[in-house]
């Protein structure tokens, strides 16, 4: 059941069978969320962390004027709120952007892992560190890239992350985001989001229809995005 988690953690360093067993042992019940449902509410103090088995979810904050900003996208194999294990209080919400199948890991059992399984603890820590690295890359994209480059970068990142957990299909992947939602990822108005998608299409590096993105020219896309996957730490080495 935890295949996607093994793929995710395992891309950084080898996972032993004992460690896999500990992860399985940390899981409690499963649940399905419908598109648009909140998986974790802002301000809550969860006693479990949520692992996505399938689907797409996002962290977000809402401002007083109603503006919404997504701060991360989470795919299969991602813990959406592993940080809440130590941060305790959620300062943001997490919403399902597609039907999501998730499983909950008890904080008390995660704590036991930190007491007894140092290597696995480091891998879980690392998982949150990669989260941070992705955040930094997003900050760079928001601050200093053109919007076209930003979108191209997002496509590169999602493609690579989805590939790791075997959710790509050739050079295509499913991206169940409306343009309004995408605008809340990039930090744009819907109208301009539409212009930017149009620009990428016009250049001919991606086709984008029916919530399916197909990369037509990976090399050129990567060039536009200045995409360097180093920040995703995809090399397998002792950690």
Where does this chain bind a second copy (CB under 8 A)? 59, 61, 63-64, 67-69, 71-72, 83, 86-89, 91-92, 114-115, 118, 121-122, 125-126, 128-133, 135-140, 142-145, 184, 186-187, 226, 228, 230-231, 233, 235, 237, 239
The window from 97-105, 160-168, 188-196, 225-233 that contacts DNA (CB under 7 A) reads 188-196
| Interaction partner, residue 194 (a second copy, DNA, none; CB < 5-8 Å by kind) | DNA
Residue 58 DSSP symbol: E
- In the complex, the smallest distance separating the C-beta of residue 104 from a second copy, rounded to whole angstroms, is 19
Beta-carbon count within 10 A of 10 CB:
17
- In the complex, the smallest distance separating the C-beta of residue 64 from a second copy, rounded to whole angstroms, is 6
Lay out the site mask for DNA across 164-183 (x = CB under 7 A, - = otherwise): --------------xxx---
- What phi and psi, each to the nearest 5 degrees, are found at residue 29? -95, 165
Is residue 100 a contact point for DNA (CB under 7 A)?
Answer: no
48/209 Cα distance (integer angstroms) = 37
179/96 Cα distance (integer angstroms) = 16
Nearer Cβ to a second copy (87/190): 87
Handedness of CA 200, 202, 205, 208 (dihedral sign): positive
Sheet strands (E) in the chain: 27-33, 38-40, 48-54, 57-62, 68-74, 93-96, 100-106, 168-169, 172-174, 206-209, 212-215
- In the complex, the smallest distance separating the C-beta of residue 131 from a second copy, rounded to whole angstroms, is 6
| Interaction partner, residue 140 (DNA, a second copy, none; CB < 5-8 Å by kind) | a second copy
- Smallest Cα–Cα separation from 39: which of 127, 86, 104? 104
Token pair belonging to 191? 């109208």
Is residue 195 a contact point for DNA (CB under 7 A)?
Answer: yes
Q: Which of 29, 210, 237, 238 binds DNA (CB under 7 A)?
A: 210
| Interaction partner, residue 198 (a second copy, DNA, none; CB < 5-8 Å by kind) | DNA
Binding residues for DNA, rule CB under 7 A, total: 16
239/59 Cα distance (integer angstroms) = 27
Q: Do 30 and 100 touch, CB atoms closer than 8 A?
A: no
Residue ranges in contact with DNA by CB under 7 A? 146-147, 178-180, 187-192, 194-195, 197-198, 210
């Amino acid at each position: 059941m935890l295949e996607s988690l093994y793929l995710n953690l395992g891309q950084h360093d080898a996972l032993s069978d004992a460690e896999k067993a500990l992860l399985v042992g940390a899981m409690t019940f499963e649940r399905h969320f419908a598109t648009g449902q909140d998986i974790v509410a802002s301000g809550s103090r969860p006693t479990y962390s949520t692992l996505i088995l399938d689907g797409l979810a996002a962290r977000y904050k809402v401002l007083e004027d109603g503006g919404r900003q997504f701060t991360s996208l989470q795919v299969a194999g991602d813990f959406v709120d592993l940080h809440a294990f130590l941060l305790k209080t959620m300062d943001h919400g997490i919403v399902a952007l597609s039907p999501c199948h998730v499983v909950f890991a008890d904080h008390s059992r995660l704590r036991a892992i930190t007491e007894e399984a140092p290597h696995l603890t480091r891998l879980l820590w690392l998982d949150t560190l990669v989260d941070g690295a992705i955040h930094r890359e997003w900050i760079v994209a928001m601050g200093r890239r053109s919007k076209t480059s930003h979108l191209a970068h997002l496509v590169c990142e999602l493609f690579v992350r989805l590939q790791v957990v075997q959710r790509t299909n050739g050079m295509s992947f499913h991206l169940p985001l409306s343009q309004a939602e995408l605008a809340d990822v990039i930090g744009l108005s819907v109208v301009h989001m539409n212009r930017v998608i149009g620009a990428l299409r016009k250049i001919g590096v991606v086709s984008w229809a029916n919530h399916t993105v197909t990369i037509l020219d990976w090399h050129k896309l990567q060039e536009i995005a200045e995409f360097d996957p180093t920040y995703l730490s995809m090399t397998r080495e002792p950690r």
